[in-house]
Amino acid sequence: LQLWQTDVTHYPEFGRLKYVHSSIDTFSGALFASCHVGEAAKDVRRHLLRAFATLGIPAQIKTDNGPAYIS
């Protein structure tokens, strides 16, 4: 795992857990997604910790520099 691209999207049909956080390894295509109640930094942290536990730790993470990623 070298470079992950990470983002969050809002999917209201999921009810309370309507924020889908996703990370994809640019080179292998490995994907990890998790649902959360928000898109704040604490939710990003939870997502990344789960992703690291599942896929390992990448060398780099690329984001869109949204508020949750720069706080």
57-68 confidence digits (pLDDT tens): 999 999 998 888
C-alpha span between 36 and 43 (Å, rounded): 6
How many CB atoms neighbour CB 64 within 10 A? 10
With H, G, I as helix, E, B as strand and everything else as coil, classify residue 23. Answer: strand
What domains appear along the chain, each with residue ranges and CATH number? 3-65 (3.30.420.10)
3-state helix, strand, coil in the chain (%, to 5): 30, 35, 35
Predicted local distance difference test score (pLDDT) of residue 43: 95
pLDDT band of 71, cuts 50, 70, 90: low
Q: Using CA atoms, how far apart are residues 65 and 14, in angstroms rounded to an integer?
A: 25
Q: What are the pLDDT digits (tens) for 12-53?
A: 888 899 999 999 999 999 999 999 999 999 999 999 999 999
How much is the pLDDT for 69?
A: 82
Q: What local confidence, expressed as pLDDT, does residue 62 receive? A: 95
